Amino acid sequence: MDRFNVLAKQSAFQTFNAHRPSNELDLHGLLVREALEVTRERLDKFTRNKEKELTIIVGRGNNSMNGVAKIKPAVTELVQEFNIKATPNKPNPGCIFIEPRPAGEAADSSWADGFFRSLFGLIRSFFR
């Protein structure tokens, strides 16, 4: 079973990323755990190679239960571990745009606070 899960992950990843430029990472078709593994590896490479930009395609959550995104909030939390600048919803609501943090610029996670507040509000509305 584990072997088939790995094959499924590799197949989904290759299908969605085969024709993408090297500065795009598409996480469609992956489970949250798998998406985080792939993203961490890619962000390590991004910082190690001092790349200029990376677009992580996390999706909008349209295919998630009740339309609530699972991968986007998980990746949003993960990128805070890296010394990078992350802009959500750029170039569209299903993406997170990554670029190096300019020298001397402090991390700004205020967008994440607002994102999580709105996410929890949405979740809360489902249980009312």
As to burial, measured by CB atoms within 10 angstroms (0-12 exposed, 13-18 middle, 19+ buried), residue 116 is middle
Domains and CATH numbers, the chain: 6-126 (3.30.1370.110)
pLDDT for position 22: 93
Question: What backbone torsions phi and psi does residue 107 show, to the nearest 5 degrees?
Answer: -65, 135
Alpha carbon dihedral 37, 101, 88, 68, in 10-degree steps, equals: 30
Whole-structure pTM value: 0.74
- pLDDT averaged per 10 residues, the chain (length 128): 76 84 93 94 96 94 72 92 93 95 67 62 66
pLDDT of 89: 93
Q: How many other C-beta atoms lie within 10 A of the C-beta of residue 35?
A: 25
Question: For residue 26, which phi and psi values (nearest 5 degrees)?
Answer: -105, 120
Residue with tokens 């998980």: 74
CA 26, 95, 127 angle in degrees (round to 5)?
105
